[in-house]
Structure 1
Amino acid sequence: MTTLQPARPTIIVDGVSKTFRIPREPAFTIKERVLHPLRHRDFDELRALREISLEIGEGEFFGIAGRNGSGKSTLMKCIAGIYRADAGAVRVRGRVGSFIELGVGFNPDLTARENVVINAVMLGLSPAEARRRFDAAIEFAELEDFIDLKLKNYSSGMQVRLAFAVLVQLDADILLIDEVLAVGDAGFQQKCVDTLNRMNDEGVTIVLVTHDTHAIEQFCDRAALFEEGALVELGDPARVSHLYMQLNFDRARALAAVDKPRYGNGAVQVVEAWFADADGNRADTLEHMRPCSFHSRVAVRRDVEAASLGVSFTDAQNRNVFTTSTSWMHQRTGPLRAGEALELSIRFDNRLTPGRYFATPLVASESDAELMDLREHFVTVLVTGRRSGGMVDLQHEIEFARVSPAAMSTHAKDADGDA
């Protein structure tokens, strides 16, 4: 484990453990308590945090990743003072602002105007200062037309806007944020990112819990990975992202053992498929920007005039990133007889950005009008390497040069004039 330490820690977590008692049976009713006053309830123990020790530096942008139930949100609540650790200690130097659970501190029966002031006071502002910053908060949230609407009539997205707008009005030294970048529309997400970057540049320490490995690599100075309540990696954001993706990939591989949906008339069926590395060896992990290949084998169950063999690649968000077939590439199989077998091979330089991808092999009639077999998400592969933006990495060169205003084209001048 990488253990780079900050020069001047503002958050110190020293051997923190936290355990929750989970009842095995539903809570007793009042009647049951009266009739059975000596009856005991049995509990199971859930160890949410296991002797966690780490330090977060002043002005650091620190990321925390982990699968659901790994303990990352519990740690955030211990830092915020919401939970008390069963063992160990948390020391925080500075004023803390937290965005951990949506709606905490808001009253649904009050208007946005009332909630902004009350929530800001609860977070540490004086009533006068809360009222003074009210307009800035509403403007940031873009909710000027809804300030006198009760909060129970707000959508979850509107509540997120309002809560984050209040948070950034605080004079906080430390911000604790749990998945705020994953909600709201794209414009609001970008506004959040720009605001957090500005505050971090001004010296605010930011701790971000997220499942987004791209955000960890793009924004964070350091990161931590949690699994089953334990700290398994601390340090380089790229390595934390890679290990987190690997944890999810191992789970996805186990789920892949379960039969996936398949469709078609069954005349020709996909029986096997796999990815291969640059040496031709079967692989469930591929390196970014290295040669690789995809293969599928099909069995002919009934005589057909011809068939088209193909595949689609989708990413973890189920977005189609690539599709091809023999018919698209003007390759004909000719008549196929029952008992025959074919193998499809597709070789390419791996320009997929790092992440998890699924392959869906398929067989159709040569005109693609009739589906014979499609095995959805039949193969899973993990692409490793340094992440870049977007879905594919186009190898490119970039340059710029200064030009004189006289060199501007007529079209550019016309466009400027129209503006």
Structure 2
Amino acid sequence: MQSIPAVVVDDARKSFHLPHREVHTLKERVLHPLRRSSADVLHALKGVSFEVQRGEFFGIVGRNGSGKSTLLKCLAGIYGLDEGAMYVDGRLSTFIELGVGFNPDLPARDNVLLNALMLGLSPREAARRFDEVIAFAELEDFVDLKLKNYSSGMEVRLAFSVLIQVDADILLIDEVLAVGDASFQQKCFDEFARIRRSGRTVLLVTHDMGAVQRFCDRAILLEHGETVHLGDTDTVAAKYLELNFSERARADAAAGVRDEEAPERQGDGRAEILDGWFEDADGARTEALPAGARCAFAARVRFHAEVRDPLFGLNLLNSRGDNLLSASNLWSAPESGTFAEGEELVFRVGFENILSPDRYWATPAVARGGGAGLAWLDRRERLASVVVTGTRPTDALVDMPYELELVR
């Protein structure tokens, strides 16, 4: 017999009315006493549906304004739906908004006890777990300090520490990793692993695709209140990155943004890079690559003059502009031969994909000479891009293979 899902969201719809015209002057109030302020309608959720099974770690991702937090607040009962239905079967505990449930004029000691009571612990149980909460948050020296004097990082550590002490069946967590230092984020990761082993149900809102791929069984991607994709985390992560970077590219193009320090194209015209693309392990063109597989970048070149021993090169940049690969035939095969006017060729750079999940851009080039005497024949800045997805998250620039040995 199939078990009842822990969470069911069925065609959830939620809108907000945003006032944008107020009646300000006395004349307007006298002439139009019944006129109401006009308003825009924001459709935060547009028919979202999914189910979360018991014991499932479920990710909710999307860009800012996609409806993620509204969805969680509806599940928590903070907002009511306009249409559709939601069902939550089990004891619920939420971490949705920093500061909710805390009194800034009270010290941490009182806030912990009050918040624990609000989340369903008995007074005796709240007192018993107090030391564990403070120890996890690493706030032993600040327990009698009023919360209004806490930093946002200290406050989020305290709130998350209270949350994990509650024996809830279902946890709703919104962006706990967005605030806090690296060491606390690692403690959160360790706690997520423990929660996952315990069989509790978790709905996690985050922008961290590494966390989604590491912990979540499935995920949903939202955009403008609608479902873009519901399914495995690798696909959701790839689509999220694609959505994020394609929107950024459209915004830059509309604003006329370009990198002035690196023109889109350089060269004297003796060679022309006609096209460039990424290839998967089978040699097929692709815009998405799984981490760990063999792949390549290829570019087609046409010569407009006779050129002897040209150099072919490639730079590979991540979304932050870091150069992760500088490949050329300068050292491997500097005598590439003579190419006649009108001749074409494809040069290909193959490599093991040890890249971390991100979007990467290829800058191919054809040149003559070397060192200080290098002369561009053609150089195409960020000619093609590819999204790399992976199941092993890392904060390193590359996911380099390694062997770890323990010797006692």
Per-residue deviation, residues 106-128 of structure 1 (Å, max 9, x unmatched): 23333222322222223233344
Q: Could you tell me which of 16, 20, 40 is aligned with 1:20?
A: 16
Distance 1:357 1:46, change over 3 A: same
One-letter identity of the residue aligned with 1:192: C
Matches within 5 A, 1:108-187: 108-187=104-183
Distance 1:296 1:125, change over 3 A: farther
Gapped regions of structure 2 (runs ≥ 5): 337-342
Q: Deviations over 1:281-329 (max 9, x none)?
A: 87544565243225497999xxxxx998755423335544323456676
Root mean square deviation of aligned Cα: 4.3
Matched ranges for 1:197-216 at <5 A: 197-216=193-212
1:87 aligns with 2:83: yes
Q: Which moved further from structure 2: 257-266 or 8-17?
A: 257-266
Q: TM-score, normalised by structure 2?
A: 0.77
2:295 corresponds to 1:291: yes
How far apart, CA to CA, are the structure 2 residues paired with 1:30 and 1:118?
46
Change (3 A) 1:286 1:217: closer
Partner of 1:76: 72
Deviation at 1:29, TM superposition (A): 5.8
Partner of 1:277 in structure 2?
279
What's 2:349 paired with? 347
Q: Indicate the larger mover: 31-40 or 162-171.
A: 31-40
Report if aligned partners of 1:264, 1:374 keep a CA contact under 8 Å in 2: no
Q: Does the CA-based 8 Å contact 2:238-2:288 persist in structure 1?
A: no
- 2:96 partner letter: I
| Whole-angstrom CA distance in 1 between matches of 2:209 and 2:288 | 17
Q: Which amino acid is the alignment partner of residue 239 of structure 2?
A: L
Residue 408 of structure 2 is aligned to residue 387 of structure 1? no
1:337 equivalent in structure 2: none
The answer to whether the Cα contact below 8 Å between 1:249 and 1:382 also exists between their aligned partners in 2 is: no
* Aligned counterpart for 2:362 among listed residues 356, 359, 362: 359
Q: Is the 8 A contact 2:18 2:39 kept in 1?
A: yes
- For residues 100 and 94 of structure 1, do their structure 2 counterparts lie closer, same or farther at Cα, with a shift above 3 Å needed? same
The residue type paired with residue 385 of structure 2 is T
**1:152-204 superposed Cα distances (whole Å, 9 cap, x missing partner):** 33222212111111111112111101121343222211211221222232232
Letter in 2 for 1:201: R
Q: Distance in 2 between matches of 1:328 and 1:31?
A: 80
The answer to whether the 8 A contact 2:316-2:363 is kept is yes
Q: Percent identity?
A: 46
The code of the aligned residue for 1:355 comes to D
- Paired AA for residue 254 in structure 1: R
- The C-alpha deviation readout for 1:345-384, integer Å capped at 9, x for no partner, is 4511341445311335689994369998998756432235
TM-aligned CA distance change 1:127 to 1:369, over 3 Å: farther
Q: How many Å separate the matches in 1 of 2:316 and 2:152?
A: 33
Question: Residue 13 of structure 1 contacts residue 52 of structure 1 at CA under 8 Å; is this kept in 2?
Answer: yes
- Cα distance in 1 for partners of 2:208, 2:156 equals 18
Contact 1:11 1:91 in 2 (8 A): yes
**Unaligned segments of structure 1, at least 5 residues:** 301-305, 334-340, 401-407
Matched residue count: 392
Opposite residue 19 of structure 1, the aligned amino acid is S
